[in-house]
Amino acid sequence: MKISEIIDKLEAYHGPLEPERRTCDIVQYGDPDQVCTGIVLSCCPTAEVIRKAAELGCNLIIGHEPLFYDGWNETDWLQDNCVYQAKKQLLDRLGIVVYRDHDHIHNHRPDGIFSGLAKMLGWEQYQETENYFPGTAYHLPLTTVRAVAEHVAHTMQIDGIRIIGDPEMPVERVAIVGHFFGTDWDRQNIQLIEKMNCDLIIPGEVIDWTIGEYVQDANTLGIRRALLNVGHFNLEEPGMRYMAQWLPKVLACDLPIHFVQSGNSFSWLSFKKAEEGKRL
């Protein structure tokens, strides 16, 4: 089966976007008219994911995020960039095609990323709100921030999560929201948290002066709130991992399909709190 045929089947499964809508769901690199040898699914098509795809004998990566550091995959501004050139050479050498499935999978009903995340977390039965944007509220059996964080980290296959708030705080209602970008989205997300009286917030992006300040103020004022800062890729990657379960049925072929984790972007350096007045 040609890669272009795989893309057509995938987009048909998701359903069409609005006719006038500009989409970032394009072949970001490579020749889609070649025969597919295998598919790698990942949140972000990093250089490490590209190498792993080649090791697995796959020449198609279906990623959720951009290939070249730009939401529309525009590369004119990168022509003299050494990292761009090195990544492009890697793709050429390995013969990898990269397709982005972002708008279509989010436009799927239900949202393919966040419904996949709910399934991977095992939280479908606890869902209180119907839609996934601006966010979803879950009413869990009574637990703690620490216990939820451990479960989320295990599901996302990461080794740590930044938090705001008390790890031992009781939790019943959790909001998984999109991203805090310092825009009107932040207002919608905070309004959802307030309306559903959510104890714990799990967003993708975090802006200190909107949701960060909101949670800090809530704690100071005696209102039960906490936040898990898992990171954008980590929040959405389980949805791409779940894709490996339904994509074979959509394609109706025996192509090898692998999920490759793009992985946690951050690691931690821990230091003792600096003494007051100490200067480098």
**Sheet of 170-177, strand order:** 135-144, 170-177, 200-202, 226-229, 162-164
Round to whole Å and give the CA distance between 205 and 232: 5
Instruction: Answer for the pair 121, 152: CB distance below 8 angstroms, yes or no.
Output: yes
Round to whole Å and give the CA distance between 252 and 268: 43
**Is 64 within any annotated ligand binding site?**
yes
Bridge-partner residues for 136, per DSSP? 176
**H/E stretch holding 192:** helix 184-195
Phi and psi angles of residue 258, each rounded to the nearest 5 degrees, phi first? -125, 145
**Is 236 within any annotated ligand binding site?**
yes
Q: Binding site residues for a divalent metal cation, as ranges?
A: 64, 232, 236
Q: Binding site residues, as ranges?
A: 64, 232, 236
